[in-house]
Amino acid sequence: MPVEPLSQKETEDRLAGLPGWSLDGDRLTRSYRLGSHFAATAMVVHVAQVQEELDHHSDLTLGYDTVALSVHTHSAGGAVTEKDFELARRVEDLAPGHGAH
């Protein structure tokens, strides 16, 4: 079943419920700061696990004490879809456990 792109209004409404996330062009993005490189690395592994569970993958960047995500749905022509928001919500749920802010 194809995934449908969200309208600009739907995207904005969903973003209102995800503080820290923003729309950068055609992608949802968010950066987190963590207490150490080890904490950031552990969060990357946890996010990768969630992405495998959802079968939906972001561009995931590890810095010294930062983690950045950028996501859109390739099968919807590179548009933002509900799948992207599901991943964002899952990452938001796990981030505090890693001390991310």
Phi first, then psi, for residue 69 (nearest 5°) are -125, 145
Q: What is the pTM (predicted TM-score) of this model? A: 0.96
DSSP 89: H
pLDDT, tens digit, 9 for 90 and up, residues 6-20:
999 999 999 999 999
pLDDT, tens digit, 9 for 90 and up, residues 50-75:
999 999 999 999 999 999 999 999 99
Helix residue spans in 1-101 (DSSP H) = 8-15, 37-54, 82-94
**Mean pLDDT, all residues of the chain:** 97
